[in-house]
Amino acid sequence: MALIAGPTASGKSDLAVRLAQALENQGRKAAVINCDSAQVYRDLKILSARPDESEMGGIAHHLFGEWDGATACSTAAWADAAKAKIAELHRQDAVPILVGGTGLYMRTLLDGISPIPPIDPEIRATIRAMDQTDARAALEQEDPEAAARLAPADVTRTARALEVIRSTGKPMVDWHGKQVGGIGDSVSLYPLILTPDREELYNRCDTRFEWMIDAGAVEEVEALVTRHLNPELPVMRAIGVREIAAWLKGDLSRGEMIAAGQLSTRQYAKRQFTWFRNQPPPEWLRDHPENIVLDNIFESLLR
């Protein structure tokens, strides 16, 4: 199984298709599997930069646009779907090529997930209705270790840590290190992390967001707004959705909306840079996109 990872706008999808085409030219079947938490939603074709038919290059693509935005695609749900698809491809003697920028998805697939029991729905509803200041204060009292790790403004992880200790009686740290269900030990993995020049990447992020506005992103957000979905759903918190929605409401000018969307994209790319620099094993190959030679990087796969 090949894995091509890196920040947004770093050319991962293009490289994955090139690798798949090279494999198929040698008579080996290959398919691309999405590992991006925004590209799973069918509502976000433009804003997630999901590849279109021409960009797929005749290669089968899986787990792209398969979730409706009204249903949150959890890390566990994605990992289960990815494991099933990888197993199916292996039965066909095909090479799965995992591509994306969501590090948590990759880590969960390879290392597994902590076996935290289902959260009591009433506890979850109570916590999700709390103001972040109150939730943070409660977490500091009930799970100080988690509070020390999490940024005060991290709404999602604060709520998660609080609901875990209230529902299970154990803090998050007690569940860490007990992962189950990972496939890392059962597959032959050929990983590559793309490390583009940071300033060039930021320029590409800015250019791409402006292109998205002209290519249909506004219409995507208009369609989402008319559905009146929960604003805390991942699809509603995707980069560009809130900024464009604010412009449609008249809260931002067009220029302010574009600047805000570009800033959010650059900040996200920076977080991805940090994650891929520090989290994957040091032996995973890292290289600049412009230096990639498929025959050298994936020599074992291609031969």
59-75 residue pLDDT tens: 999 999 999 999 999 99
For residue 176, what pLDDT is reported?
79
pLDDT of amino acid 232: 83
Q: Evaluate whether 143 touches 161 at the Cβ level (below 8 Å).
A: yes
pLDDT at 116: 87
- The dihedral region occupied by 189, where left means phi > 0, alpha psi between -120 and 50, and beta the remainder, is beta
Whether residue 127 has pLDDT greater than 80: yes
Question: What pLDDT is stored for residue 239 in this prediction?
Answer: 97
> At 115, is the pLDDT very low, low, confident or very high (cuts 50, 70, 90)?
confident
59, 21 contact by CB (below 8 A): yes
The dihedral over CA atoms of 66, 68, 69, 70, expressed in degrees to the nearest 10, equals -150
* Percent over 90 (pLDDT), the chain: 85
In order, the DSSP letters of 85-126 are HHHHHHHTT-EEEEEES-HHHHHHHHHEE--PPPPPHHHHHH
Strand 190-194 and strand 30-34: the pairing is unpaired
Q: pLDDT, tens digit, for every residue of 171-185? A: 988 987 778 999 999
The rounded radius of gyration (Å) of the Cα atoms in the chain is: 20
Stated pTM of the model = 0.87
The pairing of strands 60-62 and 30-34 is: parallel
The span from the CA of 124 to the CA of 178, in Å, is 23
**Which residue stretches of the chain are H helix?**
12-25, 53-56, 75-91, 103-111, 121-128, 132-142, 144-149, 155-168, 172-175, 198-212, 218-227, 241-249, 254-278, 294-297, 299-302
- Whether 288 and 196 have beta carbons less than 8 Å apart is answered as yes
Q: Would you place residue 263 in the very low, low, confident or very high pLDDT band (cuts 50, 70, 90)?
A: very high
**Looking at this protein, which amino acid is placed at residue 38?**
A
Q: Which domains does the chain possess? A: 2-113+180-302 (3.40.50.300), 121-175 (1.10.20.140)
**231, burial (CB in 10 Å: exposed 0-12, middle 13-18, buried 19+):** exposed
pLDDT for res 302: 86
Instruction: Lowest mean pLDDT of 40-44, 117-121, 193-197, name the range.
Output: 117-121
User: Considering only CA atoms, which of 35, 39, 36, 3 is closest in space to residue 19?
Assistant: 3
Q: Are 3 and 189 in contact (CB under 8 A)?
A: yes
Residue that the structure tokens 């597994």 belong to: 112
What token pair was written down for 198?
A: 């940071």
The values of phi and psi at residue 123, to 5°, are: -65, -45
Mean pLDDT of 54-59: 97
Q: pLDDT confidence of 135, banded at 50, 70, 90?
A: very high
**153 contacts: CB under 8 Å, gap ≥ 6:** 132
Cα(157)–Cα(187) distance, integer angstroms: 31
Residue 214 has pLDDT above 80, yes or no: yes
Structure token pair of residue 55:
């960009």
Q: Which residue has the tokens 């292996």?
A: 90
pLDDT given at position 118: 87
Angstrom distance (rounded) from CA 119 to CA 164? 7
Cα–Cα distance measured from residue 69 to residue 279, given in angstroms and rounded to the nearest whole number = 29
Mean pLDDT across the chain: 94
pLDDT at residue 140, as a whole number:
95
